Amino acid sequence: MFPSELGGPPALRPDTVRIIPLGGLGDVGRNMTAFEVNGEILLIDAGVLFPEQDYPGVDLILPSFDAIADRYDDIVGLILTHGHEDHIGAVPYLLKECNSFPLYGSRLTMGLVDFRLKEHNISSARLMEVREGERITIGTQFDVEFIAMNHSIPDSLGLFLRTSGGTVLHTGDFKMDQLPLDGRLTDLRAFARFGDEGVDLFMVDSTNAEVPGFTLGEVEVAPALDQVFDGAQGKIVVACFASHVHRVQQVMDQAKRHGRLVVYVGRSMVRNMGIARDLGFLRVPAGTVADVSDLDRIPEDQLVIICTGSQGEPLSALSRMASSNHPSITVGPSDTVLLASSLIPGNETAVHGVMNGLAKLGATVVHKGNALVHVSGHASSGELLYCYNLVQPKNVLPVHGEVRHLIANGNLARSTGVSSVLTVDDGTVIDLKAGVAEVVGKVSAAYVLVDGTSVGSLSEESLADRRILGAEGFITVIAVVNLDGQELISLDIHARGFVEDANGFADVEPQIVDNLATALREGVTDPHLLQQIIRRTLGRWVATTLRSRAMILPVVLPV
């Protein structure tokens, strides 16, 4: 379990499947896996991870492409299991490195990817639409059969790989909703068929492995939504993921039933729902949707706003409403705000802050904690046990989840009699041959940070500096020195975001002056060395006297 101190992997043997998870094992996001057989590489998913608060200024976190960077010409395809950002968000960044291979995915997934590529000015990608039940050959080594999977976004796919080294069944993200809104069931008959054929490696969604029983179906949300609409006096604001077509469909149907108009707010929400509508995955009742420019003309008791911000994102529409900072929407005591999503781990503080802000404005806040307004899109432990018993795989590799989710999923597999469970983290290299899967080494799978237009340039040192600045503030010391006369002319100390004591820096300033004077008398004229003297002197005083570790920025100006 989570092997450590692994070296680089050996050369890949002929007719052996090499599996390298590049992301998604240890995080809920950044999903990406590379498969190699006889010199050809097939990728599954390329997603992003949204940073938590300890990554200040970082917009996105990508999988590292280092393990395949010198093998781009060997990539024969990229399969995308579904259209969530944690599975497709890194596609533009990968294609900027190399776009010689085709992309495979369902109709909705390809529609969402196509729009995203246009945003990045990528026009040469080859998008190949596939559907459940279809079986194709990618390159010369990968026989791929696509499987219908039920998830919180329509048109999701799993896949079954047949190779000379063995077979792999990959679920993607899934659950076993028996009354799906779109009628699309997870194809358990295909699972049974693959089990009869023989599954050498089963790669299984782990997100809800700790949750007992079966995940509730989407239809279970309808009564709670109906109650919210029945009781709302003013406008209703619904915050959910911009890709949650099923939830938007339910809100749309409720709006039609209660005589309300729907307005989308947020660029990604407008974009994704437009794509889903155009491709036939979102049924929009006639006369139900209005434009954001019509907000002022719609009575509040006839208005539903569907927006982003369910995870407390600082610049999202909902966060701006909660802080009374939205340019066109205000929230008041007669309004109802519905958070129709689960909390992504790490976002709790931000989401609770938004909820408190809305409550302070007098709004009624409805969320998963006080009403059944959201169900998960991932299989719980009962569903996972069912799949293990149905498939009876030789080896299991839990994927998609934090460490505790992977471990829980592995334990479920063992409880059904699977003896070979590979609970590993990103970068671990697994070789599969003749039904035997084993860990053979490790490669780099580090975080790649996206900061504005910069990709991968932000170092850990710079990130650490940002954390210190955000938590402790900084102190600037400007020393003007006469190097010829070997004397200190002036010393100024300024602080920002830093809690000083009542005397400011009166106690430490003489120490800095004395240490600089001594250094100048001893012939130290290098400004960098003089800056180091300032940093050491002030740093010791700040640490011991004020119990702080503020960033210290000394500047020495020779005259």
Shared domain for 428 and 548, answered yes or no, is no
4 is a domain residue = no
pLDDT for 490 equals: 84
Looking at 422, 451, 480, which one is the last position of a domain?
451
What tokens appear for 408 in the block?
A: 């829980």
Same domain assignment for residues 227 and 295: yes
Contact call for residues 339 and 310 (beta carbons, < 8 A)? yes
At 19, list the tokens: 């599996």
Largest CA distance in the chain: 89
**Total structural domains in the chain?**
3
Overall average pLDDT of the 471-489 stretch: 78
Among 398, 429, 451, identify where a domain stops.
451
Judge whether residue 60 has pLDDT over 70: yes
* pLDDT score of 175 more than 60: yes
- Does the pLDDT of residue 227 top 70, yes or no? yes
CATH number at residue 507: 3.10.20.580
| CA trace torsion 51, 96, 170, 202 (10° rounding) | -80
CA angle 387, 159, 390 (to 5 degrees): 20
248 plus 332 within the same structural domain: yes
Domain end (from 429, 451, 473):
451
Q: Which of 520, 522, 540 is nearest to 530 (CA)?
A: 520
pTM: 0.84
Please work out, in degrees rounded to the nearest 5, the angle formed at the alpha carbon of residue 127 by the alpha carbons of 126 and 130.
Answer: 140
Q: Which residues contact 132 (CB under 8 A, 6 or more apart)?
A: 106, 146, 147, 148, 157, 187
Q: Is residue 203 part of a domain?
A: yes
Same domain, 464 and 436: no
Residue 479 in domain? yes
Residue with tokens 């002056």: 513
Is there a domain that residue 5 lies in?
A: no
Q: Distance (Å, rounded) from C-alpha 157 to C-alpha 83? A: 10
Answer yes or no: is 420 within a domain. Answer: yes
Strand 40-44: give its sheet, edge to edge: 127-129, 103-105, 75-79, 40-44, 32-37, 17-23, 428-433, 436-442
- Residue 429's domain comprises 17-214+376-451
Whether the per-residue pLDDT at 41 is higher than 90: the answer is: yes
CA separation for the pair 408, 43 (Å, rounded)? 26
Express each pLDDT in 230-283 by its tens digit. 989 999 999 988 888 999 999 999 999 999 999 999 888 989 999 999 999 999
Q: What is the pLDDT of residue 520?
A: 84
Residue 433 lies in a domain: yes
Is 1 within the bounds of a domain? no
Percent of all residues in the chain with a pLDDT value above 90, rounded to a whole number: 59
Could you tell me the CA-to-CA distances from 1 to 36, 73, 380, 408, 445 in Å, in that order?
Answer: 23, 33, 22, 12, 18
Give residues with Cβ within 8 angstroms of 233, minimum separation 6: 301, 334, 336
Q: Half-sphere exposure (CA, 13 Å, Cβ side) for 547?
A: 0
Both 27 and 174 in one domain: the answer is yes
Q: Is the pLDDT of residue 467 over 70?
A: no
How much is the pLDDT for 378? 95
Mean pLDDT of all residues in the chain? 89
pLDDT at 81 over 70: yes
Q: What is the CATH number of the domain that holds 293?
A: 3.40.50.10710
| Residues 25 and 95 occupy one common structural domain | yes
Q: Decide if 329 contacts 305 (C-beta within 8 A).
A: yes
CATH at 204: 3.60.15.10
Task: Specify whether 58 is located in the same domain as 80.
Answer: yes
- Based on the fold, state whether residues 269 and 243 are members of the same structural domain: yes
pLDDT band at 502 (very low <50, low <70, confident <90, very high): very low
Residue 6 belongs to a domain:
no
**Same-domain check for residues 189 and 321:** no
Q: Among 24-33, 86-95, 472-481, which is the least confidently predicted range?
A: 472-481
Residues 328 and 416 placed together within one structural domain of the fold: no
| Confidence band of 466 (pLDDT split at 50, 70, 90) | low
Q: Rounded CA gap, 278 and 266, in Å?
A: 18
How far is Cα 428 from Cα 442, in angstroms, rounded to an integer? 4
Q: Are residues 277 and 425 in the same domain?
A: no
On whether both 95 and 32 belong to a single domain, the answer is yes
In angstroms, the CA 425 to CA 417 distance is: 23
